Amino acid sequence: MSDGDYDYLIKFLALGDSGVGKTSFLYQYTDSKFNSKFITTVGIDFREKRVVYKSSGPDGTAGRGQRIHIQLWDTAGQERFRSLTTAFFRDAMGFLLLFDLTNEQSFLNVRNWMSQLQTHAYCENPDIVLCGNKSDLEEQRAVKAENARELAEKYGVPYFETSAANGENVSRAVEVLLDLIMKRMERCVDKSWIPDGTVRSNGHSTADLTEPHDPEQSKCAC
Amino acid sequence: MKPSKSALGLLDLSFLSAEEEAAIRQVLLRDEDLKRLESGRVRKLRQSVPDLQQLKNLTGEWFEELRIKRYGQQTDVTAVVRTSMRWKKTAVHKPNPFLNDKLDENKEHDKDEHNTRPNASADPRLIHPALSKETYHQHTHKDFIGDVETPSAPSVSNKKEKLRAETDANPFLNGTDPGHKSTKTQPKELSGGQTTTVFPFSSPVQDTKPERSTTKNPEPRRKVSLPPALQRDQSFEENWVKISLEPNTVKPVHDENNSSGIKLKEVKPHIKNIQDTSSPETSHTESKNVLLKSGSPMKEFHFQPQTSLAFTSHGPELTTHSAHGDSKEVNKFSNAFQNSTSTDQQCLAELTFRESESDKAGPLDSANVRDKGSLASRDIVNDEASSDRKGGEGKNVSIGFLVETDMDQAVEHLTGEEEINKHFSAEEESQSPSLKWGIEMDSHEFPQVKDASSDFGDDVQVQIEKKNENELLYQTTGVKLCDKTVQSDLDSCEDKVKLRSYNNQTLSEISQDIFSMTDDGKLVHIREDKHMDKSVPEPIKPAHPSDDVAGFGQDSSEIKVDVDSAETKSDVLLNVLARAQKTRPPVLQNITNQEPNLEGTDDTVPSIVIVPSESPDPAEMKGNKRGALVLEALLQSSTAKNPSYIADAWEDEGVNSDDDDTSLSSYGSDLSSRKGFSASALSLTDRTGSLLSVYSDAGDFGTVEVQGSVEFAVMYSPVGELIIMIEQCQDLAIANPRKQRTDPYVKTYLYPDKSRRSKRKTTIKKRTVNPVFVESLRYKVNREELPEKSLNLSVWHNDSRGRNVFLGQVELSFRTWDWGHEALTWYNLQPKTSENAETKESNGLLSVSLKYVPSASTGGSKSSTGEIHVWLREAKELRRLKPQGVDSFVKCYILPDTRKKSRQKTRVVKKTQDPVYNHAMVYDGFKTGEVTEACCELTVWDHNTLANQFLGGVRLSLGTGQSYGKKVDWMDSVDEEVQIWKRMLASPNSWVEGELPLRSAMTPRKSTS
């Protein structure tokens, strides 16, 4: 993986409260492993993965596999690292906003994180996927699925209940985010893209996308 | 979306602990690797993908454009973070950007940079002498007051800090005072008062010792901050420059007794002496005496009254001497490195000593201190320095090193001190900023420190973190007993230092000479002080890497963080020492080699105008060998005055100059190959290509497609310096395809000055297309002058034969520069614009007349040989190397005779791009047919004090490519050059005139067969 043999370099960033499982989530995604030991991330870290992406859109690229090298930034959730981690926001093309289903506060803080993103990301409406992690700890659940979905709708972002421990929806969440990015990219470069509402609907192919996207959110910055 | 965000400014990362910072750096490095990979991929894509839109997608440009829409052009986040880490403390406390940063940085850098960034150096921005002084000062007060109660550690560390910070100015100038004996000065100093400060760099210190000693708190503490530059090779010359600018600092004082350079050897005995004397020497004087008296060993050290830092077998020891006879504890951490590490200086910070005012436990004599294995700090310099100053001479400040072992009781003793009085003499205060270097060691260079620090408890770290930058340094939690590790470290350091000591001494001795700065910004040794050891080889050996030095420095910085750790401290100091040694710029070597000889070269340029038809003195003629140049006799004065043939040649040939093409000279690589010229006049000279490559000033011997980028930062420091911090380059082209290698270095000019004075270069990194420099290049320039200037930064491949290859450049105009933008920024390398690509035309024209007088066939005893008369009329439109006009002259050789004595020169015509020389020369001895094998090489030079710079040249010949049957590359005349020669031959005994375009480069005069 240390060669330049890929077609796209895509950068994502995982953010959320401390302890929600960002590092584990990414580790699960890249290595398909889970380590239950909690080691707080020092400031910032990243992992990489190489995937092949096939556009599912009706445009001509459907079916052709694009080699994607994904750089997944893992940010520390601790407050003290905030200044450092937010600096990295602007470098990411897409975001995985995680909260802990067994921790209500982490869910309540999603709002704050969204606003942080809006402030520090490369544009005001970046592509985000909301993940309620630790879905495997059903008995300790503190956040209702419907509440989470509601919030996701409000922000116009896809929502997944994931588990870094058993891998549930981990890959899917990332793939959806990747798809969002790729679609946005194609739209952006093509200056003649069509207005928000219509375009957006092309990009989402997963069933989990609960709501049609908020036009705001799909507005391409270009 | 319009840009709504401001630039990502520096982050305040003061909350990060050392380990955290290290971990983050590792991450950043991994990211850098990925970025590098990506940029390589992108580059290839740009070449291969035609579809712009697709290209944008593939390269990620689509994203960048979006981001730019919001934020405008931004520095890369990782760069910002890195920079922020360096500025860790400064982000919070603007005024003190350097002091603490360096310390912390050292730690951090050590850990992770140690392996990855070999040349990490202190960030020059962090070292701001003026600023650091202040902070240091503040800190001192604060800390000490607070520390009174605490175990000595804090104070000790503080002191260390201070000392370190105090190490001002010329770390490398040995402020040895020949007549100075600490003894005599001690009393004076002590009487003054409580604290004495050790000023390693006393240079400007003018006050008398007593004054110094009396200077106390009120006196602003000198901060010694070693300019990061000093730590780097390259910047050395700038540092030297600074020093030399400071009249006081250049202190040749060379005292046998106080030789510059710290020799551990000497230290030891010294200490031992103290120990032996044991006793109750509370009296500072006494102890001082002891120290000094210990025979020769102590020579090197200049003691500041109070304490001395010495290395003993047990490691550094702090001996305290009471100032007034009662033992005031003086903790001095002096950097007694005089050694030439003066060059290294940075590492050596003078430790400041503080006498404890409180009386702690009674007189703490050095013995006591010693017993505890405390640090002995020596205050070097100063007394001598001060005495020197009295004399009004600048004093080389000796450099002391900060060596600290654990402080335990010693520290305790010191606890009583309220603060380290930095007893800096007034002069020190007045020392030019340039002379002050804090020991802000770049953490990159203190690997040991890192290790050591890791041993330390978090509490210490935490403390440090919490402090503001000032305090950071001084906060210590406790003092551990000196333990074996420290000692062993110190021992090893000592050994190293010993090894170096000789060299150091050499260098320091040399450094004691008066140096003056040349136009090129090189330090020139212009005269020798009487004390100078004549046997010292001229070249200052810049590279006596004393790892110890670095070690010390490292240690000192480490100490700041962790006073407890004895290991750390000593490590730091040792590292500082080592670094100091290591970072001596190679340039120095060359400088001294060449400088002395350079003087006066052009003094001998003849100004007589020879009437062409005059025939030489028959006697002379007879003596001439075949092809000998006739006018030798007449013009001999000029050449005869040049004692050093080679030097002269070098100088003219620009050997000294750091011309790209002759960079080998500056790096000393080819000096050995520059041999004398063959004696035989017509033999094909075997000049090395390197020498002759000099002829292409700013020439580019390669045709390499520019690629890659360079990361650097630009900042202007209040002390009147423009600092370009070169970080690294990425994805450079392969300059030598045959060998598949690139040995890059970065060169800068501050346009519009294109002369050597304006040139600065980094070191050369071998075999890499992704060199990491972390070096700073500095220019002394006034703020108001900046807008009219622009920075030309170019990356070159250093070829061993001097045929350097241009790899790309970046030009920044300061007219519209945002001086707030000080972060490291990546710039894509650009090819040479047509404006600065050297073309023949751009070098001007040379107006010359030639006459060939064929050999007369006479039957007489005196057969007259053929003659070539060369009448140099004028030159036009010469390259404007200097804004005010060049000081040009022309040199003439009739090849293949390259003997010095065959060379003729015009006088120097100053300050004009269109000089009129009106100088004629006659060369005789040409037998029939020989003229066709000869070539008249005329080169125009810009005269500078130390080294002349090539402006352009022509070679007049038939351009046959061979001479006397041998292929030579100097028979390469073309066009008008051949024309005029032909015309000359075709019109014997009459003048032919021509106006020839000057070549920007001339190939080496080697035979190619």
Higher pLDDT, A117 or B173: A117
**Among the listed ranges B711-715, B758-762, B882-886, B951-955, which one has the minimum average pLDDT value?**
B882-886
Query: How far is it, in rounded angstroms, from Cα B331 to Cα B153?
Result: 11
Test B41 with A4 for CB contact under 8 angstroms. yes
- Chain B positions touching A80 (Cβ under 8 A) are 15
- Chain A positions touching B24 (Cβ under 8 A) are 42-44, 84
Give Cα separations from B661 to B481, B691, B972 (angstroms): 56, 9, 19
DSSP state of B865: P
Query: How far is it, in rounded angstroms, from Cα B156 to Cα B38?
Result: 49
Nearest CB to A190; choose among B20, B23, B53:
B53
Pairing, β B949-956 against β B935-942: antiparallel
Question: And the tokens for B664?
Answer: 């080998």
Nearest CB to B70; choose among A42, A123, A190:
A123
pLDDT band at A216 (very low <50, low <70, confident <90, very high): very low
pLDDT band at A45 (very low <50, low <70, confident <90, very high): very high
Nearest CB to A188; choose among B31, B40, B66:
B66
* B134 pLDDT above the threshold of 50: no
What value does the CA radius of gyration of chain B take, rounded to a whole number of Å?
31
Nearest CB to B56; choose among A87, A122, A189:
A189
- A199 in a domain, yes or no? no
> What pLDDT is stored for residue B588 in this prediction?
39
Q: Is the ipTM of this complex over 0.90?
A: no
Give Cα separations from A120 to A86, A91, A117, B740, B752 (angstroms): 6, 9, 5, 43, 41
DSSP string, B49-82: ---HHHHHHHHTHHHHHHHHHHH-S---HHHHHH
Q: Per CB distance under 8 Å, which residues of B are interface residues toward A?
A: 1, 8, 11-13, 15-16, 19-20, 23-24, 27, 30-31, 33-34, 37-38, 40-41, 44, 53-54, 56-58, 60, 62-63, 65-67, 69-71, 74, 77, 80-81
Phi, psi (rounded to 5 degrees) for B214: -85, -15
Nearest CB to A87; choose among B38, B60, B81:
B81
- A206 in a domain, yes or no? no
> What pLDDT is stored for residue B265 in this prediction?
41
- A197 in a domain, yes or no? no
Nearest CB to A42; choose among B24, B44, B81:
B24
CA closest to B20 among chain A residues: A42
Test A44 with B57 for CB contact under 8 angstroms. no
Q: How far is A141 from chain B (nearest CA, A)?
A: 33
Test A123 with B56 for CB contact under 8 angstroms. no
Q: What percent of chain B has a predicted confidence (pLDDT) above 90?
A: 3
> What pLDDT is stored for residue B84 in this prediction?
81
**Chain A with chain B: Cβ pairs closer than 8 A:** 92
Letter for the amino acid at B1006? K
pLDDT tens sequence across B563-607: 444 445 555 555 555 555 554 444 433 333 444 443 444 444 443
DSSP string, B783-851: GGGGGG-EEEEEEEEPPTTS--EEEEEEEEESTT--TT--S-EEEE-BPPPTTTS--TGGG-EEEEEEE
Burial of B702 (0-12, 13-18, 19+ CB in 10 A): middle
Test B71 with A122 for CB contact under 8 angstroms. yes
Query: How far is it, in rounded angstroms, from Cα B991 to Cα B906?
Result: 19
Test B44 with A4 for CB contact under 8 angstroms. yes
- A217 in a domain, yes or no? no
B-interface mutation test, from A7, A44, A74, most B Cβ less than 10 A away: A44
Test B37 with A3 for CB contact under 8 angstroms. yes
Letter for the amino acid at B419? E
Q: Into how many domains does chain A fold?
A: 1
Provide mean pLDDT across the span B47-73: 85
Question: What is the helix (H) or strand (E) element at residue B690, kind and residue range?
Answer: helix B689-693
pLDDT tens sequence across B263-293: 434 334 443 443 444 444 444 444 344 333 4
> What pLDDT is stored for residue B489 in this prediction?
46
pLDDT band at B842 (very low <50, low <70, confident <90, very high): low
Q: Give the position of tokens 């302890």.
A: A19
- Chain A positions touching B30 (Cβ under 8 A) are 46
pLDDT tens sequence across B613-651: 444 444 444 444 444 444 444 444 444 443 333 333 333
Distance between start and end Cα atoms, chain A: 32
pLDDT band at B130 (very low <50, low <70, confident <90, very high): very low
Residue ranges in B467-585 assigned as alpha helix (H): 469-474, 484-512, 549-561, 566-582
- A26 in a domain, yes or no? yes
- Chain B positions touching A190 (Cβ under 8 A) are 53
Q: Count other C-beta atoms under 10 Å from residue B988's C-beta.
A: 12
Q: What percent of chain B has a predicted confidence (pLDDT) above 70?
A: 36
| Identity of the highest mean pLDDT range in B84-98, B896-910, B995-1009 | B896-910
> What pLDDT is stored for residue B578 in this prediction?
55
Beta-carbon contacts of residue B857 (< 8 Å; ≥ 6 apart): B863
> What pLDDT is stored for residue A151 in this prediction?
94
- A207 in a domain, yes or no? no
pLDDT tens sequence across B656-694: 334 443 333 333 333 333 333 333 333 333 343 333 333
> What pLDDT is stored for residue A222 in this prediction?
54
DSSP state of B732: P
> What pLDDT is stored for residue B700 in this prediction?
62
> What pLDDT is stored for residue B73 in this prediction?
79
> What pLDDT is stored for residue B963 in this prediction?
83
Test A124 with B70 for CB contact under 8 angstroms. yes
Asked whether the beta carbons of B199 and B381 are under 8 A apart, the reply is yes
Asked whether the beta carbons of B375 and B407 are under 8 A apart, the reply is yes
Provide mean pLDDT across the span B743-753: 90
Test A221 with B66 for CB contact under 8 angstroms. yes
Asked whether the beta carbons of B827 and B748 are under 8 A apart, the reply is no
> What pLDDT is stored for residue B581 in this prediction?
55
Task: Tell me if residue B233 falls in helix, strand or coil.
Answer: coil
pLDDT tens sequence across B310-335: 444 444 444 444 444 343 333 433 34
Instruction: Write down the pTM of the prediction.
Output: 0.35
Question: What is the helix (H) or strand (E) element at residue B688, kind and residue range?
Answer: none
Pairing, β B744-751 against β B353-355: unpaired
Test A124 with B62 for CB contact under 8 angstroms. no
- Chain A positions touching B77 (Cβ under 8 A) are 87-88, 90-91
Phi, psi (rounded to 5 degrees) for A189: -70, -35
Give Cα separations from B924 to B682, B931, B989 (angstroms): 13, 10, 13
Provide mean pLDDT across the span B918-928: 86
CATH of the domain at A83: 3.40.50.300
Q: Give the position of tokens 């400014």.
A: B9
Q: Cα B804 to chain center, whole Å?
A: 21
User: Which of B248, B278, B580 lies closest to B402, judged by CA?
Assistant: B580
Provide mean pLDDT across the span B348-357: 38
> What pLDDT is stored for residue A59 in this prediction?
58
User: Which of A121, A55, A65, A129 lies closest to A98, judged by CA?
Assistant: A129
- A204 in a domain, yes or no? no
User: Which of A111, A213, A130 lies closest to A173, judged by CA?
Assistant: A130
Give Cα separations from B916 to B311, B570, B601, B695, B876 (angstroms): 64, 63, 21, 22, 9
Angle at B155 between CA B270 and CA B412, to 5 degrees: 70
- Say how many residues make up chain B: 1009
* A139 pLDDT above the threshold of 90: yes
Question: With DSSP H G I counted as helix, E B as strand and the rest as coil, what are the percentages for chain A, rounded to 5?
Answer: 35, 20, 40
Pairing, β B760-761 against β B709-717: unpaired
> What pLDDT is stored for residue B140 in this prediction?
40
Q: How far is B775 from chain A (nearest CA, A)?
A: 26
Asked whether the beta carbons of B236 and B588 are under 8 A apart, the reply is yes
> What pLDDT is stored for residue A107 in this prediction?
95
- Chain B positions touching A220 (Cβ under 8 A) are 66
- A196 in a domain, yes or no? no
Pairing, β B916-926 against β B805-813: unpaired
pLDDT tens sequence across B147-161: 444 444 444 444 444
Query: How far is it, in rounded angstroms, from Cα B519 to Cα B539?
Result: 18
Q: Give the position of tokens 């830092």.
A: B309
Handedness of CA B638, B642, B646, B652 (dihedral sign): negative
Q: Count other C-beta atoms under 10 Å from residue B737's C-beta.
A: 11
> What pLDDT is stored for residue B1005 in this prediction?
63
Provide mean pLDDT across the span A77-99: 92
Give Cα separations from B5 to A112, A121, B67 (angstroms): 19, 10, 10
> What pLDDT is stored for residue B299 in this prediction?
41
Query: How far is it, in rounded angstroms, from Cα B856 to Cα A104?
Result: 111
Test A42 with B31 for CB contact under 8 angstroms. no
Q: How far is A203 from chain B (nearest CA, A)?
A: 17
- Chain B positions touching A84 (Cβ under 8 A) are 11, 13, 16, 24, 81
A131: containing domain: 8-187
Angle at B201 between CA B321 and CA B405, to 5 degrees: 45
Nearest CB to A87; choose among B37, B63, B80:
B80
Q: Find the largest Cα–Cα distance for chain B.
A: 106
Distance between start and end Cα atoms, chain B: 67
Q: How far is B731 from chain A (nearest CA, A)?
A: 13
Task: Tell me if residue B957 falls in helix, strand or coil.
Answer: coil
pLDDT tens sequence across B795-804: 998 888 777 8
Query: How far is it, in rounded angstroms, from Cα A146 to Cα B205?
Result: 76
Q: How far is A184 from chain B (nearest CA, A)?
A: 10
